[in-house]
A and B are shown apart, each in its own frame.
Chain A
Amino acid sequence: MTEVVNREYVDRCESIDTAFRRESSAESALAKLDWWDIVGGGEERVGDPASFGAIFEMQGRHLISSNAMGAVSAAPIVAAAGRSPVPTDTMALAGRQVGDSIQVSVLRASHGQVVAMGPSGNPVRLTRDQLDPGHGTAIDADLATVFALRRDASVDELDGDLDLGLARGRVAAAFELLGVSTKVLEDAVLHAKERRQFGKPIGEFQAVRHMLAESYVLSSAIRDCCMCVIEDQSPRWPDPRLAMQVKAVAGRNARGVLQRTGQVLGAMSFTWEHPHHRYRRRALALDSAFGSSRELGREIAETLLPDGESIWAVGLHS
């Protein structure tokens, strides 16, 4: 659809899409793809950023839940702390203080140890039995569960920096949001061509056409930002400044796309008659993961803007 096609990336998407379709579970598809090698584990440089992105776009597109996003985020943190990352580690997508306990949301499919932002601001490593399942609440059947960290838990503080892990998680979430946005737009365009009211397809009404055109602009912008990350040549991939901005664009624009495409789908968009509601909940959860577009917007304004170089960081050379 877009003119600036990254052929390599499109090819990766196709093979990953095929793997997800053929295998019976996300885990077996990812295993077939040797995903842990693709995402570089805890290495500073990811060997194949195009495949890294494609895995997550396809997960978003097909609403697939795996532990991949949590694992790519946790791995650099665990590695920086001098330990060996494993594919079952995961990074809490978000955490918040409730009374004297911490609530963390964790990917549903993860089984291993959880890295979260601890009370002191340093990353901490938790085991699943330290998380109180009694308080577990599914925030999104497709994605994550919220757990409360037991009050009596003694946490294992990690001496690693969060930057690279957060950057990887943000990029993964941005690609999932790209998959979500692309899919809901395709669905809505199809619907606008088929659904007839007042004797003609609703896609002939300018109000509807413009909402879909706006959605296309918003989702194209996510794609362009995501492709710029793939092309980023930073020795520690991805550049955290870049990841922060890409995630902010992806979260904000995906919300915009869902708002408009939901409107085009009409009443069924907020019922279980149509899968749209699942994409909407997925996008909300993804936007909140590793910093929402609003939080990141504030962070960009406070930290990136005063540093003139950051504004120009991505460009023709990257």
Chain B
Amino acid sequence: MDGILATQSGEDAGAAKDVDPLLDVGTYRAALAAWFEDEARSIDHLRVAKAPAEETMLRVRELQSVLFRYGWARYGWGPEVGGLGGGILHRAVMYEDLARRGFPPRAALEHLEILVPVLGRNLHKDVREWLVPRLLSGEALLCQGFSEAEAGSDLGSLRTRAVPKDGGFVLEGTKLWTSWVVWSDYCLVLARTGSVEERHRGLTAFVIDLDWPGVEGLAIKQADGEDELGELRLDEAFVPQERVLGKVGGGWDIAMEILAAERGSFAWQRHLQLLRRLESYVEECAPKGRLAEPAIDLFALRCRSARTLKAIENGWRPGPEAAVNKVLLATAEQNLLDAAEAGAELGLALGLGSGSELRADYLASRSVTVYGGTREIQKDIIARQVLGL
């Protein structure tokens, strides 16, 4: 089965004209499943649930590089970013297969789903062609620097400045709650190129290297013991012009597109992990009756997410409606962990034995109504932009 890429590269010029059968989602699904069966032993060591962040990061990157090498992680993306074609359903199928086979959450790589479509459309061709394939192959990681101490829900008031200088911009400011910043190689930064009064109209998005002079990422210790979150300090960091994402002053549109993707398509990846947990809780902790509500929540979330992905496949771009996915996801995750916590009792409260992992998951689940736009912001979006109130 290692001939997928070989057949793609097409040594036989005649064969290259044929339509790739794997562009059909059903065929791709079956071929991927067969490949997993064949390769089970060689990738089994990557199927570890909880590990220190450094180890997790190595494993998810190794798995991604294997999936990329065999071509699986290249389906779902267009040739402009080094992909082999197909759409979001290819990606969704791969995520589901990975989750069902017990591979852990993809950590920083989950962001590919959110960021790569935007990079594909807006990044300068010269940069895109070498940078995005590095992300898709797991060779490099990209994080996203939006929030600041004074700009959480009110993103339009951010203060990080970008001042034009010598064929580029100089960045100055501090980003906060930047997921995976200490593990990443690049960051998509939102900064102010206009005046404070212009609010969201004066913003521009950049893709910067995290090892450039004047750029420093620091970890923030979290309640659940992880250090996913971090702080990004920008001290007169120079960014060349070709790293502007889209247009100068067009940062808000980029940010909205990313946030809608985070609220819409991201729910599919996340719900897979929640379904896996639901399965394990049936055996481990909560009495089954307690899992009735979360099971119903997750069923509804799955129906919602599947339909959203199909709509995206048909050309729809997530907008205000994606707030519904986000609220459903956050509610389902918290209800699930509430049920598990109620069933686990003392072990969880004290973090004993198997309770320690559950406790970490429980604590982490408290953040889901905050990140990516708080639940209250989502409700405001629905009230104003969907219901017209």
Q: Do A and B bind each other?
A: yes
A4 and B307 form a contact (CB under 8 A) = yes
CB distance from B99 to the nearest CB of A (A): 10
Known A2-B321, A3-B319; judge A315-B302 contact (CB<8 A). yes
Question: Which residues of B are found within 8 Å of A316, using beta-carbon distances?
Answer: 25, 89, 92-93, 96, 306, 309-310
A203 to B291, CA, bound (A): 35
- Which residue of chain B has the shortest Cβ distance to A192 in the bound complex? B389
B304 and A209 form a contact (CB under 8 A) = no
Give how many A residues have a beta carbon under 8 Å from the other chain's beta carbons.
47
Is there a chain B Cβ closer than 8 Å to A139's Cβ? Answer: no
A47 to B235, CA, bound (A): 66
Is there a chain B Cβ closer than 8 Å to A189's Cβ? Answer: yes
Question: Which residues of A are found within 8 Å of B384, using beta-carbon distances?
Answer: 209
A297 to B288, CA, bound (A): 10
Is there a chain B Cβ closer than 8 Å to A217's Cβ? Answer: yes
- Which residue of chain A has the shortest Cβ distance to B279 in the bound complex? A308
B89 and A225 form a contact (CB under 8 A) = no
Question: Which residues of B are found within 8 Å of A318, using beta-carbon distances?
Answer: 306
Is there a chain A Cβ closer than 8 Å to B121's Cβ? Answer: no
A245 to B304, CA, bound (A): 14
- Which residue of chain A has the shortest Cβ distance to B299 in the bound complex? A245
A228 to B299, CA, bound (A): 11
- Per DSSP, chain A at the interface is helix
Is there a chain A Cβ closer than 8 Å to B13's Cβ? Answer: no
Q: Which of B319, B324, B384 has the most CB of A within 10 A?
A: B324
Report B83-101 CB contacts with A as 1/0, cut-off 8 Å: 0000001001100100010
A256 to B324, CA, bound (A): 15
A3 to B311, CA, bound (A): 8
In the complex, which residues 109-142 of chain B have their Cβ closer than 8 Å to any Cβ of chain A? none
Report B269-282 CB contacts with A as 1/0, cut-off 8 Å: 00000010011001
B296 and A300 form a contact (CB under 8 A) = yes
Known A210-B379, A214-B379; judge A304-B295 contact (CB<8 A). yes
Is there a chain A Cβ closer than 8 Å to B352's Cβ? Answer: no
A316 to B282, CA, bound (A): 24
In the complex, which residues 276-315 of chain B have their Cβ closer than 8 Å to any Cβ of chain A? 278-279, 282, 288-293, 295-296, 298-304, 306-311
- Which residue of chain B has the shortest Cβ distance to A221 in the bound complex? B300
B302 and A217 form a contact (CB under 8 A) = no
Contact partner of B306 among A228, A293, A297, CB < 8 A? Answer: A228
Question: Which residues of B are found within 8 Å of A206, using beta-carbon distances?
Answer: 380
A317 to B97, CA, bound (A): 13
In the complex, which residues 272-318 of chain A have their Cβ closer than 8 Å to any Cβ of chain B? 293, 297-298, 300-302, 304-306, 308, 311-312, 314-318
Is there a chain B Cβ closer than 8 Å to A14's Cβ? Answer: no
A249 and B302 form a contact (CB under 8 A) = no
Question: Which residues of B are found within 8 Å of A252, using beta-carbon distances?
Answer: 296
Question: Which residues of B are found within 8 Å of A130, using beta-carbon distances?
Answer: none
Known A300-B296, A314-B303; judge A217-B282 contact (CB<8 A). no
A189 to B382, CA, bound (A): 12
Is there a chain A Cβ closer than 8 Å to B327's Cβ? Answer: yes
Report A209-231 CB contacts with B as 1/0, cut-off 8 Å: 11011101100111011011000
Is there a chain A Cβ closer than 8 Å to B349's Cβ? Answer: no
B282 and A209 form a contact (CB under 8 A) = no
In the complex, which residues 355-389 of chain B have their Cβ closer than 8 Å to any Cβ of chain A? 376, 378-380, 382-384, 386-389
B389 and A189 form a contact (CB under 8 A) = yes
Is there a chain A Cβ closer than 8 Å to B79's Cβ? Answer: no
- Which residue of chain B has the shortest Cβ distance to A210 in the bound complex? B379
Question: Which residues of B are found within 8 Å of A246, using beta-carbon distances?
Answer: 299
B296 and A4 form a contact (CB under 8 A) = no
Question: Which residues of A are found within 8 Å of B383, using beta-carbon distances?
Answer: 203, 209-210, 212-213
B316 and A297 form a contact (CB under 8 A) = no
B89 and A300 form a contact (CB under 8 A) = no
Question: Which residues of B are found within 8 Å of A221, using beta-carbon distances?
Answer: 300-301, 303-304, 324, 328
Contact partner of A298 among B92, B289, B301, B382, CB < 8 A? Answer: B289
- Which residue of chain A has the shortest Cβ distance to B302 in the bound complex? A314
A216 and B387 form a contact (CB under 8 A) = yes
Is there a chain A Cβ closer than 8 Å to B26's Cβ? Answer: yes
- Which residue of chain B has the shortest Cβ distance to A228 in the bound complex? B303
Question: Which residues of A are found within 8 Å of B388, using beta-carbon distances?
Answer: 189, 193
A245 to B295, CA, bound (A): 9
B304 and A306 form a contact (CB under 8 A) = no
CB distance from A301 to the nearest CB of B (A): 4
Report A104-116 CB contacts with B as 1/0, cut-off 8 Å: 0000000000000
The 3 lowest CB-CB distance pairs between A and B, nearest first, are A297-B292, A209-B383, A213-B379
A-B contact pairs, 21 of them (CB 8 A): A204-B389, A209-B383, A209-B389, A212-B387, A216-B387, A220-B324, A228-B306, A246-B299, A249-B299, A252-B296, A293-B296, A298-B292, A300-B292, A301-B289, A301-B291, A305-B288, A306-B288, A314-B299, A314-B306, A315-B306, A316-B96
